[in-house]
Amino acid sequence: MDSFETYQVAPEQPTSLANRQSIPLPACHLDPELVVNSFTVPRPFDVDRLRSALARTLQLFPLHCGVVARDGDSWSIKLVNEPVHLTVGSTDEPGPFADSWDGKLHADYYEELDCEAICGGSGTPLFLARVTTWARTGQTALFCCAWHGLGDALASMHLAKTWSAIYQNKAPPDPPTFSKFLLPEPQMQTISSYGFERERLSYLSVDVDPGFYDSRKRQMDDEALRLDIDLPGTFVDQLWALVKESPEMNGSIVGRADAFSGYLIAALQDCFEAPVETLYQLVSLRGRTAVYNGKDVSFPYSTQGNAFILWPTPVTTPRSEQTPGTFAQNLYRGRSELSNKNRLGRAIMLADYLWARAEFKSPNRRSAGLNDADFGFPLQSGHIDWDATEKFIQVWKANPLEQDDGSWIRDPRGLHVLLRLKPEHAFGFLERLRLDMDRLSLDQRYPSSPAAIARRIRESVSHDARQGGMEKTKSLL
């Protein structure tokens, strides 16, 4: 029997931000998407303590209790101490805890904010949380949903870590800072002198077309499969070692993340008829200094807002010579283009300038029904072709895995890979991962392994052909 109760949670005390009653919203924060995160919560937990910890957390994150307001072409978040919704309960539905979970979002575990209402100035809350316990096992998921205008995934994680620390009576991380929101408009008389940056950020300079977004969303829904793959830390570490030892590295230092990303890109490249010609990566501004409007501006690690630039790097290595190592070097070289504070500042200023013009040319973009996070890219990948959208990859720490005896084990160095691919590409990609894990003699008996997922696809092919559709294949993934 399902049983849920919703609480209205406000900050412990009325809040402001440096005595401000509102904070301006630059165009780069006017994003019609949501940031969603789900965490495993230890049982038992104290509901009253959870509510109290959230109230104390909101004291530090006043924008989460604000509402979006518009005055002409100017946007802001008014700090009105609006209570947020915290829903707590239990359900008979296993949701993401099921061994055969296919990525479908069950309403008991998932709830979305109304992005269109948020940007319509209706006073809609900007944040909600949901705590759901699977009644059969007691496994509990904490789900958080925030409007993307409050910040990117790192900002969202900052709030979650703060809430967790306060609940456990531990010292929270550094308090949030809001320098990204408070940046003035870029002082740019002309963009003609920004030739290099304009070339890299050209995807932001194309006129926004809501119909284009809508057709791409339908194409994604109709043609792509979602893959959720867990890879053990030993696999990632061995790949890292192989990349470091490869001849093309010539003794150069390569990080674990770049080595693994290079491997994934190489695996995908082998599956596609046409090669990937440009690599896009989210380059964080946190922990860095940039020259903005002629002044040094620092972005602490606690910076809120959308503190990143989507930065493309052309692939210059001939396809016959491409390896995980060459892609790792590509990624590092791309980020290095923004290592200089002057270049970083120019990129931020031009991005903000182009965001503003893309946003206000087509304010109806928010009503196109495109708050589906499957695309991954800012601007819903509207300025990046379909192939690039299909090949977007998200990677984060691996989920706990259930063992044969029913226990659960964490793999701190393991990684979870999420991407959407057309069926023919998905099978080739999974086969590459499966074969590489076999070569390294790694166990693939768990449900989210490449071998297990590939086997489910293979078993579904004939049935799917008889049904004349993709729904069976999708459900098996």
Measuring CA to CA, how many Å separate 469 from each of 222, 420, 452, 463, 476? 10, 17, 22, 9, 13
- Does residue 392 carry a pLDDT above 70? no
- Same-domain pairing of 312 and 248: yes
- Same-domain pairing of 275 and 401: yes
Structural domain span for residue 304: 195-476
- Same-domain pairing of 270 and 321: yes
Give me the chain's average pLDDT, please. 82
- Same-domain pairing of 163 and 208: no
Per the structure, the count of domains in the chain is 2
- Same-domain pairing of 221 and 133: no
For residue 144, the cross-strand partners are 37, 129
- Same-domain pairing of 265 and 353: yes
Q: Which of 167, 183, 210 is the last residue of a domain?
A: 167
Q: Which of 310, 345, 316 lies closest to 333, judged by CA?
A: 316
- Same-domain pairing of 69 and 200: no
Contact between residue 195 and residue 179 where contact means Cβ atoms under 8 Å apart: no
Weakest mean pLDDT among 6-15, 67-76, 289-298: 67-76
Q: What is the pLDDT of residue 206?
A: 64
Residue 465 burial (10 A CB sphere; 0-12, 13-18, 19+): exposed
- Same-domain pairing of 210 and 160: no
- Per DSSP bridges, beta strands 295-299 and 288-292 are antiparallel
- Same-domain pairing of 363 and 471: yes
Average pLDDT for residues 9-19, to the nearest whole number?
A: 84
Contact between residue 309 and residue 315 where contact means Cβ atoms under 8 Å apart: no
- Same-domain pairing of 247 and 304: yes
- Same-domain pairing of 256 and 336: yes
- Does residue 26 carry a pLDDT above 90? no
Q: Phi and psi for 249 in degrees, rounded to 5?
A: -75, -25
Residue 173 forms part of a structural domain: no
Percentage of residues in the chain having pLDDT higher than 90:
44
pLDDT tens digits for range 410-461: 788 888 888 888 888 899 999 999 999 999 999 998 888 999 998 888 877 6
For 234, the token pair is 């030993």
pLDDT tens digits for range 33-63: 788 888 888 778 899 999 999 999 999 999 9
Residue 179 forms part of a structural domain: no
For 213, the token pair is 């977004």
C-alpha 365/C-alpha 381 separation (Å) is: 13
Q: What is the pLDDT of residue 123?
A: 81
Q: Supply the CATH number for residue 132's domain.
A: 3.30.559.10
Q: What is the pLDDT of residue 214?
A: 66
- Same-domain pairing of 23 and 139: yes
- Does residue 321 carry a pLDDT above 90? yes
Residue 75 forms part of a structural domain: yes
